[in-house]
Amino acid sequence: MPGRAEFLESIRHRTRRGQYKPTNAPDSVWTPGVDRPRREEIEDPPARFIEELEALGGHGKRAESLEQAREYVLSLAREAELLVRWDVEYLDELAADEPLREAGVDVALWRDLPDLQEIVGRADIGLSTAAWAIAETGSLVLEHGPGRGRSVTLLPPTYVAILPVDRVLRTVPEAIQMYTGNNLPANVCFHTGPSRSGDIEMSLVVGMHGPGDVHVILVSR
């Protein structure tokens, strides 16, 4: 176990501006009154999103069509027994339910059923869409509401998000601008890569408070 001096030096290193950057995200995004370096121009937001997501331990993929995205989901679910998904039109268009069931994977849709939390707790894979993706941080912006339960994105050990590639934004402020009006969803969450925690003796544990395996598919059309 490290001594007090080593522990404090590790904290100094991780909080010193510009010294500890596990991804390419800019320094001090949220700190007011700090002279931040000018943001670089992100020329290819989808490519940058996948780069940042994979730097965090997630998996990103470009798909030319929903058919390609469906094949990716089917390959991920090869060893699964239960997949739970949001009850939304975009995932209806994915048309993965019947192929999954034919492959022996049960599919449950998020609806207001009394035992749904128990079903989600047993699921191997959670599948949803996302409102936006953020290139500079590899984050997803998720809007929860009817048919879009939070537990689908939190409880299963593997989480998959599918969204159109034109929903990839460049920066965090650009994403926040999408919610500056009066028509705010009831719940908006920013999810960045697999869940991880270093609370206990600073030992990093992946999948502690959410899915440890995260896949995002960006669909071109």
Domain residue spans of the chain: 40-219
The confidence band for 207, taking pLDDT boundaries of 50, 70 and 90, is very low
Cα–Cα dist 100/77, whole Å: 8
Least confident of 15-24, 120-129, 145-154: 15-24
Q: May I ask the CATH class of domain 40-219?
A: alpha beta
- The tally of CA atoms less than 13 A away on the side-chain side of residue 25 is 24
pLDDT of residue 184: 78
Say whether pLDDT at 200 is over 60: no
- The string of DSSP codes covering 134-192 is ETTTTEEEEEEBTTB-THHHHSSSEEEEEEEGGGEES-HHHHHHTT-SS---SEEEEEE
The confidence band for 39, taking pLDDT boundaries of 50, 70 and 90, is low
Mean pLDDT within 158-180? 93
Q: 91-100 — which CB contacts under 8 Å span 24+ positions?
A: 91/127, 91/128, 91/129, 91/162, 93/66, 94/66, 94/69, 94/70, 94/162, 95/66, 95/70, 96/70, 96/127, 99/70, 99/74, 100/73, 100/74
Look at the block and give the residue holding tokens 């069509």: 65
The confidence band for 17, taking pLDDT boundaries of 50, 70 and 90, is low
Say whether pLDDT at 85 is over 90: yes
Mean pLDDT within 49-67? 94
> In the beta sheet, which residues pair with residue 187?
144
Comparing 177 with 168, the larger pLDDT belongs to 168
Give the ranges where the chain is alpha helix by DSSP (H). Answer: 4-15, 45-55, 66-76, 89-94, 97-102, 116-122, 151-154, 172-177
What's the pLDDT tens digit per position in 129-163? Answer: 999 999 999 999 999 988 999 899 999 999 999 99
Comparing 14 with 141, the larger pLDDT belongs to 141
Whether pTM exceeds 0.85: no
Mean pLDDT within 63-69? 96
